[in-house]
Structure 1
Amino acid sequence: MKNPIEALNKIFDSRIRLGVMSVLIVNDGVSFNELKQLLDLTDGNLASHLNTLEQAEYLKVTKAFIGKKTNTTYTITELGRQSFKQHLDALEKMIKGI
């Protein structure tokens, strides 16, 4: 019998990264502050998890100015979308015992 956790993506082991990807997969773009508020996280905690996802090329970062303030927006990449879907499919198979 195949090991059921083999198909899971280690990057999504973190509940925070799982939450970030869940938000991004259903939204066109989400700002840093919106993610921070939605997931109830500190700046540093969220930034470190976003950095991990960015390094894996699962999300794209866009920085812009609104007036004099910077606005950082995150969107999911196609690689991120595919990887997250594969992770969710693997979880579903584990739950169903397939």
Structure 2
Amino acid sequence: MSPGNLSTHLRKLEEVGYVAVAKAFNDRTPVTTVSLTAAGRVAHAAYVDAVTHYLDGSAAQALLHAEETT
């Protein structure tokens, strides 16, 4: 990922409140610190749960079962 792409992604995550971005200088060198917010932690946990559900086959089984009952 290029620095420009990363910056764009971080800006979008900051806009929805998932990350906090702090910019500073350390010996004239720019330093950017990114941290997850409480909302970001909740969103990440929901994402992990959804992906886990999908990958463990539960989602596929639910779809198959739904097709069988219609």
TM range (shorter): 0.7 to 0.9
Q: Relative contact order, CA 8 A, sep 6+: which one is greater?
A: 1
Give the CA RMSD over aligned residues.
1.3
Runs of 4+ off more than 6 Å:
none
1:66-85 superposed matches below 5 A: 66-85=26-45
Aligned residue pairs, count: 58
Is there any run of 5+ residues in structure 1 with no aligned partner, and where?
Answer: 1-40
1:90 matched to 2:50: yes
- Give the TM-score of the pair, scaled to structure 1: 0.54
Q: When you count strand as a share of all residues, which structure comes out higher?
A: 2
1:56 matched to 2:16: yes
Structure with larger Rg:
2
- Give the TM-score of the pair, scaled to structure 2: 0.73
